Amino acid sequence: MDARERARRLLRRGGADDTGRLDDERAERLLDGTATDDPDGLAALLADARGPARPDELTGEAAALAAFRHAHAAHEPAPLAAGEPRHRRRLALALTGAAAALLLGGTAYAAGTGRLPDGLQRTAHDLLSGVGVPAPPTTEASGTATQGAPALTPSPAPRASAVPTPTPTPDATVLIGLCRSWAATATNPNAKAISAEDLRILAAAAGGEAAIGAYCERLTAGPSAAPTPPPETAKPGNGATNTRKPSHAGKPDDD
């Protein structure tokens, strides 16, 4: 704390000393990494900042790659390098089935655990908008589940508040929902990414982020989504951070 305050005070003085030599040209060279001299220690500092990747900076590759694969599998116009139309169709089918199943069991885990209502909303939303499956009429419950769930509001996707039904294994249902959310994230350009918390939970269940793909495949292969008790709605406060626009920065072709 002393050190910090001392530093802060010194920082406030800005370039009072040592920096008379720092002109535009030198600054550019420093920033480009092409400075050949280092009178002020900046070149060394910046070289450190751009130092080689550390192991902890290279975790998560498998999850990113899985998302990439899903994205490409779902991207129709793109020529597939090692085209596997069957695989693609299987995925689409799986997702369609998942969507239908979700409508039945969607609220299961929200009710079951009460921990992740927000994720549920997104799961349903992502899944439906992702696969483009028209939502079966779920007139009954639509009021309850969407209320106070801002995550759903930015999208015109069909409401996914499901008909509440009883489930014996809420936890499994939660995970199945998360798996679908995870998959939808990868296949639908407009789907919101699975939240960090959901991802962590999923990773924990799968035994690591790298294992999520296989884990989810196993999990969703079986008969899915079971019914559950009363639909617990999302906590309003919780959803606030999830209302970000789907892709405000993500235009790929705005060069």
Partner 1 sequence: MRDEDLSTALTAAVRGSDAGFTTLWRALNPAVLRYLRVVCGEAAEDVASETWLQVARALPGFTGDATTFRVWLFRVARHRGIDDGRRAWRKREQARESVEPVDGRAERDVLFDVIENSGTEWALSLIGTLPPDQAEAVLLRVVAGLDAAGAAQVLGKRAGAVRIAAMRGLRRLAAHPQVRDRRAAAGPPRPRGELRLEGNRTDGRA
The contacts of residue 63 (CB under 8 Å, 6+ apart) are 199, 203, 209, 210, 212
Structural tokens at position 186: 């990868």
How many residues bind partner 1 (CB under 8 A)? The answer is: 82
Q: To the nearest whole angstrom, how small is the minimum distance from the Cβ of residue 167 to partner 1?
A: 28
The contacts of residue 158 (CB under 8 Å, 6+ apart) are 128, 134, 135
Q: To the nearest whole angstrom, how small is the minimum distance from the Cβ of residue 158 to partner 1?
A: 21
The yes or no reply on residue 221 touching partner 1 (CB under 8 A) is: no
Structural tokens at position 208: 């690591």
The yes or no reply on residue 38 touching partner 1 (CB under 8 A) is: yes
d(CA 224, CA 94): 11
User: Rule CB under 8 A: which of 76-95 touch partner 1?
Assistant: 77-81
Of 223 and 251, CB closest to partner 1: 251
The yes or no reply on residue 51 touching partner 1 (CB under 8 A) is: yes
Tell me how many degrees the CA angle 88-93-98 measures, rounded to the nearest 5. Answer: 125
The contacts of residue 172 (CB under 8 Å, 6+ apart) are 219, 226
Report the residue from 110, 186, 217, 226 that binds partner 1 according to the rule CB under 8 A: 186
The yes or no reply on residue 36 touching partner 1 (CB under 8 A) is: no
What DSSP string runs through 173-184? Answer: HHHHHHHHHHHH
Phi, psi at residue 252, to the nearest 5°? -70, -30
Which of these ranges, 74-82, 88-96, 114-122, 148-156, lies near partner 1 under the rule CB under 8 A? 74-82
| Contact track, partner 1, 166-185, x by CB under 8 A | -------------------x
The yes or no reply on residue 17 touching partner 1 (CB under 8 A) is: yes
Which of these ranges, 86-94, 171-179, 215-223, 242-250, lies near partner 1 under the rule CB under 8 A? 242-250
Of 112 and 239, CB closest to partner 1: 239
The contacts of residue 155 (CB under 8 Å, 6+ apart) are 125, 129, 190, 246
Of 185 and 228, CB closest to partner 1: 185
Of 108 and 203, CB closest to partner 1: 203
Q: To the nearest whole angstrom, how small is the minimum distance from the Cβ of residue 137 to partner 1?
A: 30
The yes or no reply on residue 247 touching partner 1 (CB under 8 A) is: yes
Q: How far apart are the first and last CA of the chain?
A: 45
d(CA 155, CA 27): 46
